[in-house]
Copies of this chain bind each other. A is one copy, B any other.
Amino acid sequence: MSSHAITETVPVGASAERSTRDQILDASVVCFAYAGYSGTSLNDIAAEVGIRRPSLLHHFASKEVLYGEVFERLLGDWFARLVGAIDVPASGWKKVEGVLRAGFNFFADNPNYVILMRREAIDGGVHLGIDLAAVLRPLFDEAADYFRREMDAGTFRQQNAEQLLLTGYGALLSYFSDAPFLEGLLDENPLSSGALDRRSAHIIEFFQAALVPPDEPA
């Protein structure tokens, strides 16, 4: 209990401190995001929590199980946020803007999640039992259909809907996943509130310029 390296602001509601299990999950997100699956040892995580590796394995059967649980928890949060933004009664550009903002804000709140997701996408999901693409597929198809409908209605410019989604995916996530690198290009912390505001404004402006026809004022 001597070395509290990373103590986030603990919710001071019911219990004074989080359960060991939750502390492990929190530390795991940080470690896996920072060094990847194979670059993170269970000792690293245990040390962050302040326990020994066997004690960690008392809470999670194996490294793989722990990783899966970390990922599942974050994926669930993200899904909920996304679906919440999709289900608002809006249409046309306003809806796209809402979803873009929701995604952006979630990523800004959970930059480690973006890094985790990216690593997993690059690795093709080998560390995960689940098929990440298959999980996201329904949302992807739904979004593509939405774009196509708006394009056919003339609300959006005609473009390849799937490609459009991939472009948005890349533009949105790369900013967060590559933040350590981008800091060297921008001369400021990309996750500072000022930089985030600038990024958010650009994303919205850029996609509006690409999507909304010139004659249609948003």
Contacts and interface: CB of A to CB of B under 8 A. Distances in A.
Contact of A210 (B124, B125, B175, B209): B209
A82 interface: no
A116 to B, nearest CB: 10
A48 to B, nearest CB: 18
Prevailing SS type, chain A contact patch: helix
Interface stretch (A7-15, A64-72, A89-97, A131-139): A131-139
Query: Oligomeric state, in number of copies?
Result: 2
A78 to B, nearest CB: 15
A203 B163 CA distance: 8
Nearest to A205: B159
Nearest to A190: B166
Interface residues of A, number: 56
Contacts of A183: 133
A182 B165 CA distance: 11
Given A36-B39, A170-B170, A209-B209, A133 B181 contact: yes
Interface in A111-165: 115, 118-125, 131-134, 136-137, 140, 157, 159-160, 162-164
B39 A132 contact: no
B181 A121 contact: yes
A57 interface: no
Interface in A190-211: 198-199, 201-203, 205-207, 209-210
A167 B121 contact: no
A173 interface: yes
Interface string A63-103: 00000000000000000000000000000000000000000
21 contacts: A36-B39, A38-B39, A39-B39, A115-B122, A120-B181, A121-B180, A122-B178, A122-B181, A125-B181, A132-B181, A133-B182, A136-B185, A137-B184, A137-B185, A157-B209, A164-B202, A166-B185, A167-B202, A167-B206, A209-B210, A214-B214
Interface of A: 35-39, 115, 118-125, 131-134, 136-137, 140, 157, 159-160, 162-164, 166-167, 169-175, 177-178, 180-186, 198-199, 201-203, 205-207, 209-210, 214
